[in-house]
């Protein structure tokens, strides 16, 4: 089974977020800033956004975002 067929979710550690916004620039469909901190528009990542959601999470200099496979 490919990783795109496996459901993924995003976990945001808002206490680690410093509001750089790189995640928002890369994948605004999942990430946005509210009050200077990241919020998620959804925690389950649509398959078509998986690559950008991962790129956005990896761009966070604080490591506040993690995209992981949902155990089934």
pTM reported for the whole predicted model: 0.90
Would the pLDDT of 2 be above 80? no
Please write the tens of the pLDDT for every residue from 15-67.
Answer: 999 999 999 999 999 999 999 999 999 999 999 999 999 999 999 999 999 99
CA 2 – CA 23 distance, rounded (Å) = 24
pLDDT of amino acid 54: 98
pLDDT (0 to 100) of residue 71: 81
Q: How far apart are alpha carbons 59 and 65 in whole angstroms?
A: 9
Where does 1-72 have alpha helices with state H?
Answer: 22-26, 50-58
CA distance 72 to 61: 30
Q: What are the structural domains, with CATH classification, of the chain? A: 8-69 (3.30.70.20)
């Amino acid at each position: 089974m490919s990783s795109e067929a496996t459901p993924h979710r995003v976990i945001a550690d808002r206490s680690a977020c410093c509001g750089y916004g790189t995640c928002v620039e890369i994948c605004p469909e999942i990430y946005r800033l509210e009050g200077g901190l990241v919020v998620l528009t959804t925690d389950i990542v649509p398959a078509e956004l998986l690559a950008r959601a991962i790129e956005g999470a990896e761009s966070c200099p604080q490591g506040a975002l993690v995209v992981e496979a949902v155990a089934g």
